[in-house]
Structure 1
Amino acid sequence: MTKKWGLMAVAAFGLYAAAMYFYIFHGQNSGIPDVLQGSAADPSTFLTTQELLLSEELSKIRNFLFFVAGPLEWLLYFAILITGMSRVFEKWSSVQFKWSLFRTGMYVFLLSLVLFILRFPLDFYQYTVSKSYGISTQFFSSWMRDNVIDFWLDFGMSVITVSVLYWLIKKSPKRWWFYTWALTVPFSIFLMFIQPVVIDPIYNDFYPLKDKELETKILSLAEQADIPSDHVYEVNMSEKTNALNAYVTGIGENSRIVLWDTTLDRLTHDEILFIMAHEMGHYLLKDIYINIAVYLFMTFIGLWLIAKIMPRMINRYGSILKVKKLSNISSLPLFLLISSFLLFFSNPLSNAVSRYQEVRADEYAMELVENPEAAILTFQQLTKAGLGEVNPSTLVKWFRYSHPPMLERINKVAEQADEE
């Protein structure tokens, strides 16, 4: 029976991957509308022929990898369950340790290690693709270092969350999901508070903006927007990538506006000021707090659905999944499988909210700096540096794009400039 279910799962994944390959590489049409050809939004006006070719190739690879990575993860969780590997980890951990926390820690370590090894080929392939197309500048040793850091940070947080989760499941079989959600509220806020000052510096060096002339301009812009102006940083991302970026992170006193050094090196002051105005728009429009609220709402719905789905799956397919009870920690891969499934299909909703926020931030930046030429050049440079796809298909846009496609952003700025 296990072999049958395993073959069925592999066959289903294979058919899905083949269908997505055909759609991504041969079925979708993401060309430029006739009305916009030759405009500032047309990538042929600001990308070379070689860059256009590389952008098309890389976009297809990225899109395909995105759509197969999630289902591949589900397949891995399913394999760990039906082969009895999860149950073996649980039994071995129980034999080795008497205290519950240590048993949980050992189980989580074994599961995390197996998943790290199984995911590594795809992760490494994504790294080599980024490297071969000139996006990544990171040496393999540095890339592996980041992966090892990810592993141990995820392991530490997982031990805490899994221990609390299964303790709540045992104490309250019917309401565990609600209590778990209630605890995610302070935990999520705490992580967002410490991320800029504790977690992010583990990966990169952050320091105050070195360009004092630019700093003066940014402070002046922040003063116009009535925004606290002492949290502008740059980070040495050139050691890892050629892409450009800037972002807002953290909450309260630990909030930061961060500029990648690649952005500082390749964009003019006017273009950087547009980016800063965009990030200030996020700050003024309270997008960080809105994102927290959206995350907590979706987590509430997700945990409620998991609490409904998991017991039914265990009751019906427990013998196949090698899980006897929900409270057994061997059910964790099933929890992760369902979570990953729900997260994947929630992408269109969360991305739609994010794109709406980005449109508002763009509009605010246009009002603040009143420099549409700088805005257009900024969007073009961002596309050029990341070899981005300016006009993805609808399916790709729904599932992958947290920002409006560059075709839409550039065209909107150009239309506003024409109106003025």
Structure 2
Amino acid sequence: MEFLIAAANTPASFDAAAATEAYIATMDAAARARSDAYFEGGYWLILVNLLAGLAMAGLLLQTGFSKSLRDRVQGLVKSKSLTVAFYAAIYTIATTLILFPLTLWQGYFREHAYGLSTMTLGGWLNEQAIGLVTGVIMAAIFLTIFYVVLRIAKRAWWLWGAAVSVILLAVAIFIAPVYLDPLFNDYEPMEDSELRDDILALAQANGIPADNVYVFDVSRQSNRITANVNGLFGTTRIALSDTLIENTDPDEVLAVMGHEMGHYALNHLWEMFIIFALVLAIGFAFTDRLFAFLNARFGNKWGVSGISDIAGLPLLAACLSVYFFLATPIFNTVIRTNEAEADLFGLNAAREPDGFATAALRLASYRKIDPGALEEFVFFDHPSGRARIAMSMHWKAGQLALGAEDQSPELRLDRAGTISAALVSDRENE
């Protein structure tokens, strides 16, 4: 350890690899084991959630629930679109209730077991209720429009369905900062301070149209640190969590905000719209084939006439979930690539490599810091902690080699050690 620190702090030749190891070495073994266990458990949850969803779809189809629900709604409203809307609402409620035990364990008890949640059971249930209400409304609207496309486009539904889905996603992102996010958190303007001025200066320097910074109370739900630059068409908003402000130093805040601004400045949102449209088109084409195959064999028993029949929604959802499961490594790689680009942008914009390195250590409380290459490729939708620290240190080495006066060969190992000690303390207090 002493050798690593000495090597990393040699002004004449800054060793990025040694600096990376020095930062990672500050993480306590017990805290690291807990973080690894939490994150690796998530690998299995991907499979568990898939199997639970497939079992639920089978239950709704095999018992005739889906067919009966469609028939009863049709008998009441007649209109095809209203049938879809009411079916979607009831379907959303039913599936939420069926999966509730898994959701409760995964979202509440497991989070508390790893010391990551700050919510009471009552508070968690309240948020689930809010999520259910908004989910019912959004499902009714989206599926009504989606099934109109299915009926009109017929064989080409998978192509038009992808286009309409992306448009509706853009609408959701547009309204989220104004109507959806405040349902779960309070957003307040950040108090006047040097840090606020620095964040706004960083935004203005990178073409982000925002004249204020908002703080939202993530601490009511979790001790995680987070931030975002969200919105479209005039609803763009810079927001950071109270946990980020209260639990990190200013250089870490600026490093994180530089990353978030990178997504906006690099047009990642628009890029993801295009990629999402392509991904959905392929997924819908896959679903079209698999749905036809299964419905040809079991459709009469299930009472499903075809893919435009709302009674087939459980089957459509099951087919699509299989596609997303199989394509997990591809989706994660696309997102991880964008995140790495934003990391580099943030380093260039904020110029806080040590702030970014220690922020990565803080995230390691629930993200495995040093995975294998295959593991990172398959399961990580963000660069690993090691990758982020290494990028920061190599960026710093390059700047020092160029004689950058705002960079120092010194590392913030004191702060890194404090972060590790805090993780150990949290574990002992559970």
- The interval holding the TM-score normalised by the smaller chain is 0.7 to 0.9
1:295 equivalent in structure 2:
276
- Distance 1:38-1:64 versus aligned 2 partners, 3 A rule: farther
Name the SS of the counterpart of 1:253 in structure 2: coil
2:385 equivalent in structure 1:
406
TM-score when normalising by structure 1: 0.84
1:206 equivalent in structure 2:
187
Name the SS of the counterpart of 1:259 in structure 2: strand
2:221 equivalent in structure 1:
240
CA shift, 1:391, in A, is 2.2
2:125 equivalent in structure 1:
144
2:102 equivalent in structure 1:
122
CA contact (8 A) 1:46 1:380 kept: no
Choose the corresponding residue for 1:82, options 59, 62, 68: 62
CA shift, 1:318, in A, is 1.8
- Distance 1:201-1:328 versus aligned 2 partners, 3 A rule: same
Q: How many angstroms apart in 1 are the aligned matches of 2:85 and 2:26? A: 52
- Distance 1:399-1:115 versus aligned 2 partners, 3 A rule: farther
Amino acid paired to 1:46: T
The 5 A counterparts of 1:338-417 are 338-384=319-365, 387-394=366-373, 396-417=375-396
Q: How many angstroms apart in 2 are the aligned matches of 1:176 and 1:256? A: 35
What is the CA deviation profile of residues 48-98 of structure 1, one whole-angstrom value per residue up to 9, with x for unaligned ones? 343223223322322222332122212211221122221121222233434
Q: How many angstroms apart in 1 are the aligned matches of 2:22 and 2:88? A: 49
Instruction: Confirm whether residue 326 of structure 1 aligns to residue 307 of structure 2.
Output: yes
CA contact (8 A) 1:271 1:375 kept: yes
Instruction: Confirm whether residue 45 of structure 1 aligns to residue 28 of structure 2.
Output: no
- Distance 1:111-1:370 versus aligned 2 partners, 3 A rule: closer
Instruction: Give unpaired runs (5+ residues) of structure 2.
Output: 1-15, 401-430
What is the CA deviation profile of residues 343-394 of structure 1, one whole-angstrom value per residue up to 9, with x for unaligned ones? 222332222122111212211222223332222112112223xx32112345
1:70 equivalent in structure 2:
50
CA contact (8 A) 2:92 2:139 kept: no
Q: How many angstroms apart in 2 are the aligned matches of 1:139 and 1:187? A: 34
Name the SS of the counterpart of 1:254 in structure 2: coil
CA shift, 1:253, in A, is 1.4
Name the SS of the counterpart of 2:240 in structure 1: strand
CA contact (8 A) 1:38 1:45 kept: no
Choose the corresponding residue for 1:261, options 229, 237, 242: 242
Q: How many angstroms apart in 1 are the aligned matches of 2:356 and 2:148? A: 52
- Distance 1:75-1:359 versus aligned 2 partners, 3 A rule: same
Q: How many angstroms apart in 1 are the aligned matches of 2:219 and 2:88? A: 34
Q: How many angstroms apart in 1 are the aligned matches of 2:207 and 2:85? A: 47
Name the SS of the counterpart of 2:188 in structure 1: strand
2:428 equivalent in structure 1:
none
- Distance 1:398-1:88 versus aligned 2 partners, 3 A rule: farther
1:271 equivalent in structure 2:
252
CA RMSD of aligned residues (A): 2.5
Q: How many angstroms apart in 2 are the aligned matches of 1:228 and 1:106? A: 40
What is the CA deviation profile of residues 78-125 of structure 1, one whole-angstrom value per residue up to 9, with x for unaligned ones? 221122221121222233434444433332233222211121111111
CA shift, 1:136, in A, is 0.5
- Distance 1:60-1:302 versus aligned 2 partners, 3 A rule: closer
- Distance 1:374-1:164 versus aligned 2 partners, 3 A rule: closer
CA shift, 1:267, in A, is 0.8
CA shift, 1:194, in A, is 0.9
Name the SS of the counterpart of 1:117 in structure 2: helix
Name the SS of the counterpart of 2:155 in structure 1: coil
1:286 equivalent in structure 2:
267
Instruction: Confirm whether residue 109 of structure 1 aligns to residue 89 of structure 2.
Output: yes
2:291 equivalent in structure 1:
310
- Distance 1:37-1:388 versus aligned 2 partners, 3 A rule: farther
Q: How many angstroms apart in 2 are the aligned matches of 1:83 and 1:395? A: 41
Name the SS of the counterpart of 2:75 in structure 1: helix
Q: How many angstroms apart in 1 are the aligned matches of 2:198 and 2:151? A: 57
Name the SS of the counterpart of 2:222 in structure 1: coil
Name the SS of the counterpart of 1:124 in structure 2: helix
Identity %: 25
Amino acid paired to 1:414: M
- Distance 1:279-1:325 versus aligned 2 partners, 3 A rule: closer
CA shift, 1:44, in A, is 6.1
TM-score when normalising by structure 2: 0.82
CA shift, 1:226, in A, is 4.0
Q: How many angstroms apart in 2 are the aligned matches of 1:59 and 1:43? A: 20
1:131 equivalent in structure 2:
112
Q: How many angstroms apart in 2 are the aligned matches of 1:74 and 1:399? A: 22
Q: How many angstroms apart in 2 are the aligned matches of 1:92 and 1:392? A: 51
1:163 equivalent in structure 2:
144
CA contact (8 A) 2:255 2:353 kept: no
| Number of equivalenced pairs | 384
Amino acid paired to 1:176: W
CA contact (8 A) 1:43 1:52 kept: no
CA shift, 1:172, in A, is 4.2
Q: How many angstroms apart in 2 are the aligned matches of 1:267 and 1:351? A: 28
- Distance 1:41-1:65 versus aligned 2 partners, 3 A rule: farther
1:224 equivalent in structure 2:
205
Amino acid paired to 1:306: T
CA shift, 1:298, in A, is 1.4
Name the SS of the counterpart of 1:173 in structure 2: helix
CA shift, 1:262, in A, is 0.3
What is the CA deviation profile of residues 160-196 of structure 1, one whole-angstrom value per residue up to 9, with x for unaligned ones? 2222333343344323333333333432221111111
Name the SS of the counterpart of 1:354 in structure 2: helix
CA contact (8 A) 2:215 2:239 kept: yes
